[in-house]
A and B are shown apart, each in its own frame.
Chain A
Amino acid sequence: GAGVSQSPSNKVTEKGKDVELRCDPISGHTALYWYRQSLGQGLEFLIYFQGNSAPDKSGLPSDRFSAERTGGSVSTLTIQRTQQEDSAVYLCASSSGGQAGGYEQYFGPGTRLTVT
C-alpha cells in the first residue's frame, strides 16, 4: 500500500511569511509524529498525535508553530512568521499505535523548508 506522503517536497519562503506543510499518513495508522532535521543533525521531535488529539506538543520550538490533524488522517504543520532558523527538513511519520507501540515509525520523504 501507499506509504507516508508529504507535500510540498520543497518550499522556499521569505522571512516573515507563513507556511503550511502537509502529511498523509499510512491508512489506518492512528499515531502521527512530526520531526525536524537540520543539516547533518539528528531528528528533533516536534509533536505527536493519537487520533486527532495531540497529547504531546512538548517539542514545538515556539508559539509560531502549530499543528492539527483532522479525521484521524491528514495533518498540517503551520509555521507563522517564518525565521531563517526554521530552515530544515520537516519529517512526518506514522505508526499503528502510540505508547510503547510507536517504536516502529514509517517516515515520509520530508519537506525541505528554506527561509530566505
Chain B
Amino acid sequence: GQSLEQPSEVTAVEGAIVQINCTYQTSGFYGLSWYQQHDGGAPTFLSYNALDGLEETGRFSSFLSRSDSYGYLLLQELQMKDSASYFCAVSSPGGKLIFGQGTELSVKP
C-alpha cells in the first residue's frame, strides 16, 4: 500500500522560515510533489523532486531523500498570503498522485 505522513498544523510568523515534513511508504515511486490549496480553492502545483537533493523555486524549496523516504517543503520570508494547506504527494506508476492529509499553515503577523 501507500501512505504519507505530514503534520496536521503549523503556525509561524510573517517573515519567518517554516519547514513542512513528509514521510512516505509506497510500492511504486517516481517522485514527490508539493501542492498548495487555499480555502475553497483548487490545489496548485508548487514543486517536484524526482532525485535526491534540494529544488529551489523562489521563496519555496523542496527536498527529497529517497533512501529515507522523506521530503520537506521549505517556505522562506513567510507572507500572510502563504496561509493555506500544503500537501505532499507521491507520483506513482501511471501518473496518479497519492496525497498526504495536508498541513494547514497559519501565518501570524
Contacts and interface: CB of A to CB of B under 8 A. Distances in A.
Interface stretch (A14-22, A71-79, A106-114): A106-114
Contacts of B41: 109
B102 interface: yes
Interface of B: 30-31, 33, 41-45, 48, 50, 87, 89, 91, 93-102
A100 B101 CA distance: 22
Contacts of A101: 95
12 contacts: A41-B101, A42-B101, A43-B43, A43-B99, A45-B99, A91-B43, A98-B94, A100-B30, A100-B95, A102-B91, A106-B45, A108-B42
Contacts of B87: 42-43
Interface residues of A, number: 30
B42 A110 contact: yes
Contacts of A106: 45
Nearest to B88: A42
Nearest to A102: B95
B44 A107 contact: yes
Given A43-B43, A108-B42, A56 B96 contact: yes
Contacts of A33: 95-97
Interface string A87-102: 0000101010111111
A33 B43 CA distance: 13
Interface in A42-89: 42-45, 48, 50, 55-56, 59
Contacts of B42: 91, 107-110
A97 B95 contact: yes
